[in-house]
Amino acid sequence: MGQGSITRKASDLRPLLLDRFRNAAAAYSLRPLTLSGQDNPVVKVRRSVDNTEQDFNPAQINDGTLEQFVNAGDVAPADYGTGAAAAYSLRHVSDGYTGDVVRVRRSVDNTEQDFNPTEIEDGTLASFVGGQNLLLRSEILGGGTGGASQTWTNFGTTYTANAINAPDGSLTADAMIETTDNSAHTIYLAGGTTVSAGQYTGSLYIKGGLGRDWVYLSLRNSGVDSNGAYFNLSTGSVGTVSAGVTASIQDAGNGWYRCIVTRALASSPEVYLDPTTATSDNGSLTFVGDVTKGIYVWGAQLEEGTTVGDYVPTSGTIAGDGHVTTWYDQSGNSNDATQATAASQPKIVSGGSLVTENGKPAIDFDGVDDELSFTPVTAKSAFLAFKLNSNSKTIQYVLGGDDGTAQGIYFGATISGYSSGAYIDPNRIDTGTEDTNQHLLSAFFTDTTDFVHLDNANSYSGDIGNSLVVSLIGSRPATNWEFRGLIQEIIVYSDDQSSNRELIETNVNHYYSIYSQTNDGFVTTWYDQSGNGNHATQSTAASQPKIVSAGSLVTRGGKASIQFDGTDDHFDTSQNNPFSFTGGVSIIHASYKNSTAYNLYETIISANGDGGNRERMAFGYINNISFASPVPSISTDVWAPLGIQYDGTVSTDSRHLIGYYISNWSTHLSTGLSNLRFNGADVATKPYGTGSFDRLGPNPIKIGVFRESLTTSFFAGEIQEIIAYADDRSSVRQQIESNINTHYGIY
């Protein structure tokens, strides 16, 4: 988990709000308000999954540490207890493992390569597999065959296939020889390649040595210009370049050069990459050819964008497949799941595109013979994220084994009485669910009762055996029991992790979004940054406001916020309130009123809320038409109800920066506020209600309510910051509010 502190430059060490405007009576915020307290916690949060509480400073709120905690990410899902016995995933699931997660074989040439989670998701894996080369038959550059409409055609040339070694050392490079025609001497891809409008890069490996040292490489739409560039194959340099084209050349060794041209192409069903022999730089491309002269060519490629990528060979299709040969074990036990037989390797890239489910990478098992095997593991607990594609087989095992007894975890079956669950021959726990939705299944095996949970909500029990012995992913040693679907994660423990089930499931589900998130973070303490220690707390779970909702940080205007439900959410403090009856008061708050209609008295902050009728102090909103007009409006309140209001209205679903500045609380009904500020402007005020008041009791500050028995006084919205002074700060009101607004961007 992150430490939440930041290394700062000297220029960042500017005085913060309470360094500039000192002696606040109380200050609650989700940002640091003093330089000395920048790394101090500002909230204590309870997570719903297990009611664990933890402090967080502003950096930890904003850098994902708080969200990670609420979503049970503070412990990786394979790191509970003594750690998992085996862990297979396309993300990192153990803090002790930061390496590659899969090894992939690409179909175009059977080359294999390891990939980490970032490389899987950022396009590196798909680029390696292929699909970015938009040209067919990239190594059959003349008289090509294959049955598709797109083949390379000679024009003013003949060719000799497999004439010399290509840059990769294989005997696959062709010779392109001029004819005696008085014409251009080239090859082109008959039928072309369909593209949408945009920037494209074409490349071709070309070698001289056949009497021609100059070549012109063009990239063009059909019937449009033939713009391109001249290349010198003797010196390895770029010659004349057409307008709108950029060109470069790369030395590929042994006299080979990769010639590269980039330009904008229109949307077209035909694109051509044409190498044409030339007699000189910028020379005519039409001349009487010489049958003893020509060039060698190999490895044509067309790709979208302005950057040339690794060369990917193609045949009759441009889209390659990537097959998993190894799914690396992240448990630290090096029990990798492997498959050496090409036909039985599941896919992670299909037709040039990464296999995904719900936006996350997945491995696709064909239901015929795909499987990955590992050294047998005794499983007391197992967690699996997967999706069935087709329910058309006898029994489909996501995780299987056979230690003298058929066993495993299955999902989908055509046998009556089987749908999904755990099986240890001859017994099973069946969930009754078989569909093609994404699921998270967990299973636990003990000496007495065994359990299967599906998507956290359902629990099924029985006594089928003390443990599973598993050794196969996507299958079980039996005919027609292979899994047809997508597998994203499997974590196996050799001990009982049922006590950590919700934590592990929460972590897995938060990443894959398999079922609706219920992970909330509730604020139990909002720390006072004034230095007075008057922290705002709430010990009753049902009355704790949220800071993380459904797994995501609550934000308003891109900044963290605390959400109050308008029903019972509020904070209490423990100290006598710092205000006096005849003293000044300044309250400044940054808040958001949600889209629900204003209640009668929605309160941001109050003092002595449980005192007698004529000794209260409250700041917030009034919507009681019997006493105030216009409504809804901003108000102070001294009893039920009597106070000063804004002579205007405020809307719902809106953000507010409100400042109340009062020189003497006891006389403010008659003398008015020193200033009432609304979103950076002084606004007119007026009294509402009738009566008088003669004291202010000592009862502590409350946030989000006037008093609990007055249910119409709970605030429904979000609060980001409250600053309270026990004096009148109207002389610096603009500076204080400017500081707050600069951070939150309210107006």
Q: Provide the pLDDT confidence category of residue 32 given band limits of 50, 70 and 90.
A: very high
Share of the chain above pLDDT 90, in %: 77
pLDDT in tens, 692-733: 888 898 999 999 999 999 999 999 999 999 999 999 999 999
Q: Provide the pLDDT confidence category of residue 614 given band limits of 50, 70 and 90.
A: low
Q: Provide the pLDDT confidence category of residue 143 given band limits of 50, 70 and 90.
A: low
Q: Does some domain include residue 709?
A: yes
Same-domain check for residues 298 and 413: no
**Cα torsion 338, 343, 349, 352: sign:** positive
Give the end of a domain, one of 496, 512, 528: 512
pLDDT at residue 202 in the model: 92
- Judge whether residue 243 has pLDDT over 60: yes
The range of the structural domain enclosing residue 679 comes to 566-744
- pTM, whole model, 2 decimals? 0.74
pLDDT in tens, 346-368: 999 998 889 999 999 999 999 99
pLDDT in tens, 419-436: 999 999 999 999 999 999
Same-domain check for residues 603 and 535: no
Give the end of a domain, one of 304, 323, 344: 304
As given in the structure block, the two tokens for residue 636 are 């102070």
Give the end of a domain, one of 476, 495, 512: 512
Give me the phi and psi of 737, to 5 degrees please.
-70, -35
Instruction: Report the distance separating Cα 568 and Cα 479, nearest Å.
Output: 59
Q: Does some domain include residue 530?
A: yes
Mean pLDDT for the stretch of residues 13-42: 94
- Judge whether residue 612 has pLDDT over 80: no
Of residues 738 and 132, more confidence is placed in: 738
Q: Does some domain include residue 587?
A: yes
- Judge whether residue 571 has pLDDT over 60: yes
- Judge whether residue 148 has pLDDT over 70: no
Helix H or strand E segment including 502: helix 501-512
As given in the structure block, the two tokens for residue 392 are 């058309």
Q: Closest by alpha carbon to 638, among 598, 663, 595, 601?
A: 601
Which phi-psi region, left, alpha or beta, contains residue 680 (left: φ > 0; alpha: ψ -120 to 50)? left
Of residues 12 and 316, more confidence is placed in: 316
Contact of 622 with 747, CB cutoff 8 Å: no
pLDDT at residue 319 in the model: 66
pLDDT in tens, 56-112: 999 999 999 999 999 998 899 999 999 999 999 999 999 999 999 999 999 877 899
Instruction: Report the distance separating Cα 687 and Cα 642, nearest Å.
Output: 8
Q: Does some domain include residue 107?
A: no
Query: CA of 489: how far to CAs of 89, 222, 441, 641, in Å?
Result: 4, 48, 11, 59
Q: Report the CATH number that the domain containing residue 651 is assigned in CATH.
A: 2.60.120.200
Mean pLDDT for the stretch of residues 373-395: 93
Q: At a CB cut-off of 8 Å and minimum separation 6, what does 715 contact?
A: 564, 566, 569, 570, 591, 602, 603, 604, 620, 704, 705
- Judge whether residue 150 has pLDDT over 70: no
As given in the structure block, the two tokens for residue 124 are 């590196």
Same-domain check for residues 388 and 490: yes
Same-domain check for residues 214 and 260: yes
Q: Does some domain include residue 329?
A: no
Looking at the structure of the chain, the number of domains it has is 4
Average pLDDT, the chain: 92
Same-domain check for residues 654 and 710: yes
Same-domain check for residues 546 and 655: no
Q: Does some domain include residue 657?
A: yes
Q: Provide the pLDDT confidence category of residue 480 given band limits of 50, 70 and 90.
A: confident
Give me the phi and psi of 68, to 5 degrees please.
-60, -45
Same-domain check for residues 661 and 603: yes
Same-domain check for residues 366 and 474: yes
- Judge whether residue 197 has pLDDT over 90: no
Upstream peptide bond of 632 is cis (omega within 30 degrees of 0): yes
DSSP characters for 352-420?
TEE-EETTEE-EEEESSS--EEEEEEEESEEEEEEEES---SSEEEEEEEESSSEEEEEEEESSTT-SE
pLDDT at residue 374 in the model: 97
Same-domain check for residues 179 and 286: yes
pLDDT at residue 149 in the model: 45
Same-domain check for residues 688 and 650: yes
- Judge whether residue 344 has pLDDT over 60: yes
Of residues 137 and 686, more confidence is placed in: 686
Q: In the Cβ-directed half-sphere of 634, how many Cα atoms lie within 13 Å?
A: 28
Same-domain check for residues 615 and 475: no
**Burial of residue 683 (number of CB atoms within 10 Å: 0-12, 13-18, 19+):** middle
pLDDT at residue 144 in the model: 47
pLDDT in tens, 482-528: 999 999 999 999 999 999 999 999 999 999 999 987 899 999 999 99
Least confident range of 214-218, 333-337, 444-448: 444-448
Contact of 331 with 85, CB cutoff 8 Å: yes
pLDDT at residue 188 in the model: 82
Q: Does some domain include residue 740?
A: yes
Of residues 147 and 139, more confidence is placed in: 139
Query: CA of 617: how far to CAs of 577, 666, 697, 707, in Å?
Result: 10, 11, 9, 11
Instruction: Report the distance separating Cα 485 and Cα 88, nearest Å.
Output: 16
Q: Does some domain include residue 313?
A: no
Encoded amino acid at 705, one letter? V
Q: Closest by alpha carbon to 645, among 619, 663, 612, 681?
A: 619
Q: Report the CATH number that the domain containing residue 224 is assigned in CATH.
A: 2.60.120
Same-domain check for residues 649 and 552: no
pLDDT at residue 268 in the model: 74
As given in the structure block, the two tokens for residue 678 are 């609304």
Mean pLDDT for the stretch of residues 289-295: 96
